[in-house]
Structure 1
Amino acid sequence: MNVAEIQAALGQIYALPNGRQKAERLELLATAAKAVEDRSLEAEVLLTLIRAYEYSAERDRMPVVFGRLLRIHDDFPAEVGPLSHTIHWTLKWMSYSLVCNPAVPLATTYRWLDELQNRYRQRGFSPRPVLGLRALLAQNLGDQEAAAAAMESSISAPRDEMADCDACERNDWGTWRARAGDDAGALDFWAPVISGERSCAEEPHRVLAKALLPLLRTGRTEDARSAFLRGYSLVRHNVSLRESVGHHIEFCALTGNEARGLELLNEHASWLTEEHEEVSQRVGFVSGVIVLLRRLAMLGYGGILIGDRTLGTTLARLEQEIGELCARYDARNGSTVFSERVAKRLAQEPLVNRLPLGIPATLPQPAGHTVPAPPKRTDATLDDLVVEARRLSETRHPHADGAWERVAASAGPLPETVAAEVEHSRAIAQLNSDPGAAYDALLAVADRFSGLADTAKALAARAAAALARFQTGDRTGGEALAESVTAQAGSAYAAGELTSGEYLTVRRAGPLIAMAALGQRENPAEAELRATRALVEAELAVAEELAVTERTAMYHDLLARIFFALGDADGARAHLKAAVTDYVEAGQPWRAADPAALLGELALRDDDPKAAEDFASKAVAYGGDLLPHDQAAQLSSLLVEAISRQPGRERDLVGAALSAAARWDGLSEPDTLHTTFTAARAYHNLERHAEAVALFEDVMPRVEIPYDAPVIAMTRKQYGASLRELGRHREAAEQFLKGAELVQDNSDERVMYAELAWSAAQALQYSGQTVEAMAAYQRAALLWTELGQLTPRVRCLRSAAWLLRWMGEPDSEEHRESEQPGIAEMRAVLTELEGLAERSPSEEVLAELAETREQLEQLIEYDDYDYDDYDDEKADE
């Protein structure tokens, strides 16, 4: 082959995809290039071959080719001189590949690092990048002292043309500190990259992925969520950033988002079986996947399919692969440092129970069977179980019934007293579902306790039976039984057979029946309300005299509801606050959640969102994981509403709204979507547009569910604006146009229609859809005319004039003797404004007149004007 043929072949090879075929073609071409006289051409072919090896996971082949390239460079400096900078830059990246490649012996790696250092020193380059590579190698070998010395020297060395960009360097510095266990130090180095102050083609993509867990471990939960929402879209489907995808999958596994992690994995399932890729990237990706798969297997999902294999089978294969890869690194490094680092990563436990990240995802059910619940503790003795069940029962804990069922399920016969307590628990559980059966069971268990000489439990069971009898529809019988058992309790208490708490437990039957009777009436008579109030107040007085706070709390709670029915809101508030205080003092904070939530609703009604937030937050904290799912969801929405009414609280609103979305999942799709949209809008208002777009993308396909047309239009407007800020103008235009369609026939939303038409025009213009943009500008101008809005109308017309000029052919024959396109339109705007200025010289008119004159001058001098500098369409922002 001659020089021309080699050059032509090289041009064709450039277009080939990376892989073995491309490398083979270049290997043949390198042989041909060696035979011609053009050493510059041979060097160019070798450089291309080195890059092909890098991108086809054949980096162990690079040193031989690079040795040949350096000899050419040294022997023929005049011919190869123009490529010298590229050769020495590529030498740095080849050296990095050698450091990370277990197929390259350490001796070879050290020799090339020395070569790099010598050549940089000879040419006056800073040792900064060389020291950074030595620090990386020392980290891989487990020599933290040498790593620290080299990295600190690298950081202090001067920057020059061979240094990586600041964003990439900060990635390396932070990685060094993170591997040393210094999360705070890593985040300090990464801070300018995370904030967007420093960036490049692959940053902040990689840093955001690496920072996920350090942010979480240092308590920066909201920042960790933000890094996920911003970062995943940057690395998604980018094969050269597969290690970063692995970090995002791992983050999902450790934050209670296993279903979302599985979604991410399924999007990249083809990567699980790909071969011939860069080994360190493979380790990073597969390690993150194994963390997720182990977590799913522990939760009982080993049978679900990933591709055409079960999760368990996939996990076993990947664990074998990662073991083999780690063994290669250990063999190369002469230590187990690498495998120990990976093993520590794979053994991580979740850092939080649940960190909501957007629309909740759902794990699939394995074919043919349900997912088993995680195993419960089985080493407790019967005595341990009974003690725990009694403790929970004494505090009216929601898990008391379950504790007694664990007692019932224990091996061996139960003692008679314990068996009676189990039956009592089961009978109480039937009160609402089958009060007749509960009544019979409670009387039977009362007799059983009497036979055991347990007066307190026997009377408590009969008191509960009175309530059950009322619930069967026999109010008279229920009240009579309650009165009878209360009298018996009084006698037993006087005889010292009951404690104060046991006595009051029996006495509550009467007040509870009275309250239940009120609840059966839609509008109870005031006389009945006042009679019930007197009864409950009398019981409250007894409870206060005997200092039993769990009973005073209950009666304050009941009185609050009676006061509401009587129209005494202030009295209700007082009793609610007393109920909250007493429930907490009695060690039953979960029962304080209801009155605290009611206080929050009252505060919102009184337009005091800060107080409402305080009460709602306390209610959430009091309830913890003990509240029914629907009650927890409603509390979360109350908190969202309270925060949303406070200006400047958008950051807090994000977390509250996403937590609410997670709680509504499976209960109410409209509420799930609404709270997720609330979080997206909060990010939009914070100008955190990447996070906003990530959430909008999740929920926008279902926007019609929670909203009517005008609200959907506004939501699309916000989504489009965030897309525009990210430079995604074509997608932004689509959102603006869809929003405009929704309100185009709504006479009450003409301003929004005009705004959306104008925004669509700008987005269409910047996405290169000039014809559509022109039509949209003209439509927006007409709408602003109908609305009598001068400034936006004039700006739309000026934008249209510029667009005409830009679309025109300034040097065409038809325009040589006439005005260029757009100038006549701009003159028409100017003439109109001059007329307005004479008739009504307002500040608005004069400002637009001056701007139009300036833009007309620029339009006339279009050949010397940079169209991209024109920002008239941004003047309204």
Structure 2
Amino acid sequence: MNVAEIRDALRQTYALPSGHQKVERLELLATAAKAVEDRSLEAEVLLTLVQAYEYGAERDRMPVAFGRLLQIHDDFPAEVGAFSHRIHWQLKWMSYYLVLNPAVPLATIHRWLDELQNRYRQRGHSPRPVLDLRSLLAQHLGDDEAAAAAMESSISAPRDQMADCDACEGSGWGTWRVTAGDDAGALDYWTPLIDGELSCAEEPHRVLAKALLPLLRTGRTEDARSAFLRGYSLVRHNVSLRESVGYHIEFCALTGNEARGLEILNEHASWIMKQHEDVSQRVGFVGGVVVLLRRLVMLGHGGIRIGDLTLETTLARLEQEISELCARYDARNGSSVFSERVAKRLAQEPLADRLPLGVPATLPQPAGRAVPIPPKGTDSRLDDLVAEARRLSETRHPHAERAWERVAASELPLPGIVVAEVEYAKALSLVDSDPGAAYDALLAAAESFDRLADTAKGLEARGAAALTRFQTGDQTGGEALAESVTAQAESAYAAGELTSAEYLTARRAGPLMAMTALAQQENPAEAELKATHALLEAELAVAVELAVTERMAMYHDLLARVSLPLGDADGARAHLRAAVTGYLEAGQPWRATNPASLLGELALGSDDPQAAEEFASKAITYGADLVPHGQTAQLSSLLVEAISRQPGRERDLVGAALTAAARWDGLSEPDTLHNTFTAARAYHRLERHAEAAALFEDVIPRVEIPYDAPVIAMTRGQYGASLGQLGRHREAAEQFLQGAELVQNDADQRAMHAELAWSAAEALQYSGQTTEALAAYQRAAALWTELGQLTPRIRCLRSAAWLLHYMGEPDSEEHPDAERPGVAEMRAVLTELEELAEHSPSEEVLAELTETQQQLERMITDSFDEYDDVD
């Protein structure tokens, strides 16, 4: 190849994406350039090759090319002098990658660092970047004192043209502090990058990934979630940032988002297999993957396949690989510091049970994984199991049934009374699924208790049977049995055979039947409501007299639910508060969940969102994973609604909505999606557009599920606005156009249609789709005309005029006297405003008239050199 051919081929490589193909092309050109006599050309090719190695994740191949580059720089200073700055800039970065490469001996690294220092000193450059690299090497060697001394000297040294950008320097300083175990110090250095004050080509991409766990460890949970949502989209599929992808996978593994981590891993499955890449990036990526895979295997998901292998097999291979890579670093460094740090990373325990990150991802049920059964044990072990089961039963604990199952599974001989208690627990477990069978089983259990002379348990079981019989439709039989049980309980209590609590338990069937009868009617009669209310008050009076707190709480709870349809909201609130207090005093906080929830709903209905939030939060706490998942999900939605009605609470709303979305997952897809959209909109209002866009992107394909057309259109508009703020104008235009299409035939949504059309026009313009933008502006102007809205209509017409202006001038030969199209359009707008000012003057008209006059003057004198953002 001759010089011209090489230059032409070099220009073509600039359009190639980073990767091995680009590297191979440039290596061929470097060989060809060495054969010609143009050393400037060879230097340019080598510099381009070095950058391709860097961004193609093949940085360990940089030194050979750089050695040749320095040689021709020194031998041919006149020819290569124009590239001197670039060469010494890249020399710094090449030295950085040498430090990270375990294949490079320490002596070689020191030699290159000395070479860098000498060359910088000769040219009068600051030692700042050299000292930074010496600190990095000391960090790798575990010499904290030397690392600190070098870094502090680097920070205090003057900045010059060879210093890294502020963003890169801040990133390195934070990494130094994390390595030293100082999360807070690291975050201090990283704050300008996390907050968006500093940025560059690969920052804050890297910092957002590295800061995930430090943010979580320092209690900044919401900031950690934000960093994930913003950061993952920046590093996704970027081979030169695969270490950062590994940090995101690790974060998922340690925050209860193992399924999301597996999704990310599947997206980058091709990276799992060994490829030619720099080792430090490999360790960073694989380390995060191993943290995830260990977690998944521990949870019983080792059989899931990724590619051709199971997760368990993949984990074994990657653990072996990372062990070998660590051994290479330890051998190079002469210590075990590196492998110890990696081992500590791989052994991390979860930092959060569940930190919702967006649309929940769900893992399949582990194959062959069952609830563990207690091992065979001794009689003392059985005594412990029985004691625990009885304790849970006495407090009506939701886990009582499971406790009796453990007793039954102990495989030890059970005493007769324990057999009867196990039978009773099994009978109760059938009430919801098969009430007929439950009735028979409850009577059988009662008979067993009778034979064992356990009067209290026998009456309790018969009372439960009476209620079950009533629920099956045999109301007469149920009432008769309940009356019989109550009579027997009164006699036994009078004889001292029952405690107060046992007596109240035996007679509860009657009041509960009355409540069941009300629940079976859509609109029960007032007389029946009052009768039930009186019955409950009577039972409450007995419970108060006998000082049985749990029963007092239960009857307050039931009275509240009868008071509401009777129109006594204040009375209902008083009963609900008493119920909450009573359940808590009785040591049954999970039973306080329902009355606290209802108090929250009443507060929200009374336009007191702060009280509603307080009650909903307490109800969730009371439930503490002991109430059904659906109930917790409902409470979470109540909390979201309460927070959403309080201005300025968007940041809190994000967390509440994403938590609600996670709790609805698997129960209700519309609720899952709605709450995720709620979080996205909260981020949008906070102007946290990267986070908003990340959430919108996840759920917008399913937006039709929870919403009707106008709300879908509004949602697409919000997503489009966030995309526009991120500079993703083509995607924004698509969202605005789809939203506008949804409401174009809805007479009630004409204003929204016009707004979306206008937004689409602006996005089309910014994305370079000029012809489409012109049509959209004209369409939006027509819509504003229909709505009688002057200002937005005029602004759309002015924008259209500027587009016409820059789309080209008229043919001066065919139409020498023709006015430019944009000028003619702007003049038409001005004429209309002048007429309005004459016949219907207003502040609005005069303001737009003045602005249009000014823009027309600018357009007439415009030289087409630059497009001004005007409307």
Residue identity matched to 1:730: R
| 677-686 or 473-482, which deviates more | 473-482
Residues 73 and 84 of structure 2 are in contact (CA less than 8 Å); yes or no, is this contact kept in structure 1? yes
Deviations 1:637-690 (A, max 9, x none): 111111112222111111111111112222222222222111111111111111
**Partner residue, 1:351:** 351
Is 2:598 aligned against 1:598? Answer: yes
1:57-456 alignment runs, 5 A limit: 59-364=59-364, 370=367, 372-373=369-370, 375=372, 378=375, 381-456=381-456
1:148–1:547 CA distance, 2 compared to 1 (3 A): farther
Q: Secondary structure at the match of 1:448?
A: helix
State the partner residue of 2:627.
Answer: 627
How far does the alpha carbon of each residue in 1:452-494 deviate from its partner, in whole angstroms, 9 at most, with x for none?
A: 3333323322322332333344434433433333343334434
The letter for the 1-side match of 2:614 is D
Distance in structure 1 (CA, Å) of the matches to 2:815 and 2:150: 67
**Count of paired positions:** 868
1:847 aligns with 2:844: no
For residue 372 of structure 1, what is the amino acid of its counterpart? R
Counterpart contact for 2:810–2:819, Cα < 8 Å: no
Is the 1:300–1:373 contact (alpha carbons within 8 Å) kept by the matching residues of 2? no
TM-score, normalized by length of structure 2?
A: 0.95
Q: Matched residues in 1 for 2:42 and 2:391: separation? A: 84
Equivalent residue, structure 2, for 1:525: 525
Aligned to 2:711: 711
- Pair 861,148 (structure 1): closer, same or farther in 2 beyond 3 Å: same
Change (3 A) 1:14 1:438: closer
Amino acid at match of 2:648: G
Mapped to 2, the partners of 1:375 and 1:416 lie a distance apart of 26
The one-letter amino acid paired with 2:858 is Q
**What secondary structure sits across from 2:564 in the alignment?**
helix
Structure 2 residue 778 is matched with structure 1 residue 781: no
8 A Cα contact 2:376 2:411, kept in partner? no
135 and 855 in structure 1: CA distance in 2 versus 1, 3 angstrom threshold? same
Match of 1:822, SS state, is helix
Shift of 1:410: 0.9
Quote the offset at 1:565 in angstroms. Answer: 2.8
Once the two structures are overlaid, the 10-residue window that deviates more, 654-663 or 96-105, is 654-663
CA distance in 2, matches of 1:241, 1:427: 59
User: Could you tell me which residue of structure 2 aligns to residue 824 of structure 1?
Assistant: 824
User: What is the CA–CA distance in structure 2 between the aligned matches of 1:353 and 1:287, rounded to whole Å?
Assistant: 21
Q: How does 1:450-465 map to 2 (within 5 A)?
A: 450-465=450-465
SS class of match (1:602): helix
Counterpart-to-counterpart distance in 2, 1:116 and 1:12: 32
Following superposition, the deviation at residue 296 of structure 1 comes to: 1.5
Given the superposition, is the C-alpha separation of residues 154 and 815 from structure 1 closer, same or farther in structure 2, using an over 3 Å criterion?
farther
Q: Secondary structure at the match of 1:831?
A: helix
Deviations 1:169-204 (A, max 9, x none): 111111111222222221111111011110111111
Alignment of 1:563-578 (within 5 A): 563-578=563-578
1:23-42 mapped onto 2 (5 Å cutoff): 38-42=38-42
Farther-moved stretch of structure 1 (170-179 vs 452-461): 452-461
Work out the CA distance in 2 between the residues paired with 1:8 and 1:771: 34
Paired amino acid for 1:334: G
Q: CA deviation at 1:8?
A: 5.3
Retained in 2: the 8 A contact 1:680–1:696? yes
- Hey, what's the Cα distance between the residues in 2 that align with 1:213 and 1:347? 14
**1:2 & 1:723 partners in 2: Cα distance?**
47
Q: Is the contact between residue 299 and residue 374 of structure 1 (CA under 8 Å) also seen in structure 2?
A: no
Structure 1 unmatched runs, 5+: 873-877
Other-structure match for 2:701: 701
* Alpha-carbon separation, structure 2, partners of 1:835 and 1:215: 61
Checking the alignment, whether the CA contact within 8 Å between 2:382 and 2:412 is kept in structure 1 is no
Deviation of 1:52 after TM superposition, in Å, equals 4.5
Deviation of 1:374 (Å): 6.8
Which moves more between the two structures, 548-557 or 373-382? 373-382
Letter paired with 1:802: W
CA displacement at 1:441 relative to structure 2: 2.6
- Partner Cα distance (2:446, 2:386) in 1: 19
| Partner secondary structure for residue 211 of structure 2 | helix
2 CA distance for matches of 1:289 and 1:107?
32
Per the alignment, residue 875 of structure 1 pairs with none
Alignment TM-score, normalising by the size of structure 1: 0.94
- The Cα shift of 1:59 comes to 4.1
| Alignment-mate amino acid for residue 78 of structure 1 | A
Q: Distance in 2 between matches of 1:710 and 1:215?
A: 39
> Any idea what SS the aligned residue of 1:731 has?
helix
Q: Where do 5+ consecutive residues of structure 2 fail to align?
A: none
Matched ranges for 1:654-693 at <5 A: 654-693=654-693
**In the aligned structure 2, how far is the partner of 1:174 from the partner of 1:473?**
70
The secondary structure found in structure 1 opposite 2:821 is coil
- What residue number does 2:869 align with? 870
Q: Deviations over 1:793-817 (max 9, x none)?
A: 1111111110001001378545654
Structure 2 CA distance for partners of 1:444 and 1:125, relative to 1, 3 Å: same
Superposed CA deviations along residues 576-624 of structure 1, whole A, max 9, x for unmatched, are: 1111111112111111111111111111221222211111111111112
Is this contact kept in 2: 1:301–1:371, CA < 8 A? no
For the residue of structure 1 that corresponds to 2:161, the secondary structure is coil
Q: Which residue of 2 is the match for residue 613 of structure 1?
A: 613
Q: Structure 1 pair 519/748, CA: closer, same or farther in 2 (3 Å)? A: closer
Describe the SS at the equivalent of 2:175. helix
Partner of 2:467: 467
How far apart are 1:509 and its partner, in Å? 2.5
Separation (CA, whole Å) in 2 of partners of 1:416 and 1:69: 91
Q: How many angstroms apart in 1 are the aligned matches of 2:807 and 2:24?
A: 47
- 2: CA distance, partners of 1:726 / 1:335: 46
Asked if 1 retains the 8 angstrom alpha-carbon contact of 2:812 and 2:818, the reply is no
| Cα deviations by residue, 1:189-230 (Å, 9 ceiling, x for unpaired) | 111101111011111111111111111222222111111111
Distance 1:447 1:13, change over 3 A: closer
Match for 2:751: what amino acid? V
Q: CA RMSD in A?
A: 2.4
Partner secondary structure for residue 863 of structure 1: coil
Partner residue in 2 for 1:516: 516
What does residue 765 of structure 1 align with? 765
- Indicate if the aligned counterparts of 1:299 and 1:373 stay in contact, CA closer than 8 A: no
Change (3 A) 1:45 1:519: closer
The one-letter code matched in structure 1 to 2:266 is N
Query: Which AA in structure 1 matches 2:305?
Result: L
Distance 1:539 1:314 in 2: 64
CA contact (8 A) 2:60 2:278 kept: no
- TM-superposed CA distance for 1:506, in Å, is 1.6
2: CA distance between counterparts of 1:37 and 1:436? 98
C-alpha distance 9-802 of structure 1, shift in aligned 2 (>3 A): closer
Taking the aligned partners of 1:120 and 1:196, their CA distance within structure 2 comes to 32
Return closer, same or farther for 1:73/1:576 CA change in 2, 3 Å cut-off.
Answer: same
Counterpart for residue 545 of structure 1: 545
CA contact (8 A) 2:374 2:406 kept: no
- Point out the more displaced range, 801-810 or 575-584: 801-810
How high is the sequence identity, in percent, across the aligned residues?
Answer: 81
| Offset, 1:68 | 4.0
1:444–1:46 CA distance, 2 compared to 1 (3 A): closer
**Conservation of the 8 A alpha-carbon contact between 1:253 and 1:350:** yes
Cα 1:862/1:519, change in 2 over 3 Å: same
Do the aligned partners of residues 371 and 149 (structure 1) sit closer, same or farther apart at CA in structure 2, a change above 3 Å counting?
farther
Q: Tell me, in whole angstroms, the C-alpha distance in 2 between the residues paired with 1:431 and 1:34.
A: 87
